[in-house]
Amino acid sequence: MDRPWRGPAARTLITVGAAVIVAVMAARVPARLAPFVVLAAPLLVLILVLVRRMDPKWLLAALVVSTFLGWFQYSASVGRVNLRLTDLPYVVLVGSLLFVSGRTSAQRVDVGQRPFAVLLLVFGLSLIPVLVVDPNGFFSPFVSWARVVETFSIVWLMPYVVKRPSDARFVMGTVAAACAIELGRAVIRAVASGQLSERLYAGNGPDTEGLLAAILIVTVLYGMVPRRPWIRVALIGLAVLSLVLSRSVGSIAAVGLVLAFAPPPRRAAHSRKSGLLRPMKLVVVLTIVVIVVVDVRSANVPGEKGFSNGSTMARVIAGATGVDIFAYHPVFGVGFSRSALPQELANPTITSDLHREFPNSPADLFPNLSECLLENQLTSAGATNSCNLGQVHDAYIQVAAEEGLIGLLTLVVVALIIRRRVRSLRAHTSDPAILATLRWATLVLILVLIWWNDNPLYGAHPETLSFALALGTLAVPWSSLRTESQSSLGEDRPISLRAR
């Protein structure tokens, strides 16, 4: 399909338009900044040329690496919107697919994309009552919802990005490399600063670092990347060390359950030998998980000293707060991303209920509006939205509190649909290489789903991107790509497929 914006006349028009824009910007900015605006123009042209010649999968890799490194925390304010550094590779990726790659359509596998889109729509519609009742409080949660939609849109973009069967290893290799880079610098930082006794962190918090370690373990074991065995052994060692240093109970439990129930790598999931060994493997892995948790986070074990005022009890109270919010707003919830607002989280009625439910817990474990007063963020009209008192710390309780029964039931239905379609996809796939890719993506989905039991839902974070990347990998028609590749005289060339 010919595109009108790719001809010589269009390029000339675009060049003239860009020159006019640069001249206007240089005239409007302060005189000391004008030279930098002019110098930025050739750099922008160079970037556009590189993007024009670059395979979109490298832009996806840039998005994955920058997100896993925690660069989403770097932002610049444009009006009321914070543009994050990780938005740049995403925008360039979408622009490349729309205007450069030439792929106006792509075949995809139905793994529940439409029901998943309905779930995201339900998240967004939960803000309509907020728009009616409190228009000033609508914009911030709307931006948070848009950020979640942006991240999950990778599910729909993956079939456009992937062109060859070999791209499966590229995706898994990118995930492994991004995890290894982030965990490596976190360990180096801990060793260099002498903080090995503290929880591991770098670009992300300890819980996210633990999840990246779990994803690295699953990727190396089931993705078989990289190819050299000694590098895989080194990466497994780095991942296990990082997992222990992160002291993330949710991550340790997630990877333990996945390794306990998943079939061994490169073995048929329904083989008789695998079925006989699974109970024994389950007992061994769960025993190891319990031993590790007791050793690295003894205060998180009920009955141990410090449990009553430890982080586990704090998260139990945070979860109970979300349940109480749901009880007071059972149908529609309080609106997406609003359960963390101080007026909801530290509602005096809810706080009073919590004190009755946990009478022996220290007062500092309960959300308290006085903390906003100490931060000069408590006004006569109430606490400002910038006052952070924490979250409900459970993505599923968060959905119940923010979207009510409507969101919770939609989530359950969508999860069951995706599960059924993924199982059908794997049952109708016979190619061992494709099965290995599907198994890796499925295990990453399960990892994140378990981890979300102990953490809230955010857009543009490593866990959300990992989930979108895995579900998008399942949506890629790997069998069609392999068939087309084999029919092209064995050449692993890009192909163009019609939309379903």
> Is it the case that residue 159 has pLDDT exceeding 50?
yes
For residue range 37-57, what is the model confidence (pLDDT) as tens digits? 666 666 666 666 666 667 889
What's the mean pLDDT in 238-266?
A: 87
* Choice among 45-59, 70-84, 313-327, 464-478 with the minimum mean pLDDT: 45-59
> Is it the case that residue 443 has pLDDT exceeding 70?
yes
H-state helical runs in 29-112: 34-53, 56-68, 87-99
> Is it the case that residue 11 has pLDDT exceeding 70?
no
Q: What is the per-residue pLDDT for 278?
A: 59
Name the pLDDT band for 306 (thresholds 50, 70, 90): low
Name the pLDDT band for 221 (thresholds 50, 70, 90): very high
How many percent of the chain have pLDDT more than 90?
Answer: 36
- How far apart (Å, rounded) are the C-alpha atoms in residues 395 and 227? 36
Which H, E and C letters describe 364-417, residue by residue? HHCCCCHHHHHCCCEECCEECCCCCCCCCCCHHHHHHHHHHHHHHHHHHHHHHH
> Is it the case that residue 462 has pLDDT exceeding 90?
yes
Q: What is the per-residue pLDDT for 71?
A: 92
Q: What is the per-residue pLDDT for 279?
A: 59
Q: Structure tokens of 320?
A: 């109970």
Q: What is the per-residue pLDDT for 301?
A: 55
Instruction: Pick 255 or 42 by higher pLDDT.
Output: 255
> Is it the case that residue 268 has pLDDT exceeding 60?
no
**Comparing C-alpha atoms, which of 78, 103, 74 is closest to residue 89?**
74
Q: In Å, what is the CA distance from 82 to each residue of 93, 140, 212, 223?
A: 19, 10, 25, 36
Q: What is the per-residue pLDDT for 215?
A: 97
Instruction: Pick 2 or 197 by higher pLDDT.
Output: 197
Q: What is the per-residue pLDDT for 271?
A: 46
Alpha carbon 251 to its chain's center: 14
Q: What does pLDDT average to over the chain?
A: 80
For residue range 363-419, what is the model confidence (pLDDT) as tens digits? 777 777 766 655 545 444 444 455 666 778 889 999 999 999 999 999 999 999 999
Instruction: Pick 378 or 138 by higher pLDDT.
Output: 138
pTM: 0.83
Q: What is the per-residue pLDDT for 379?
A: 47
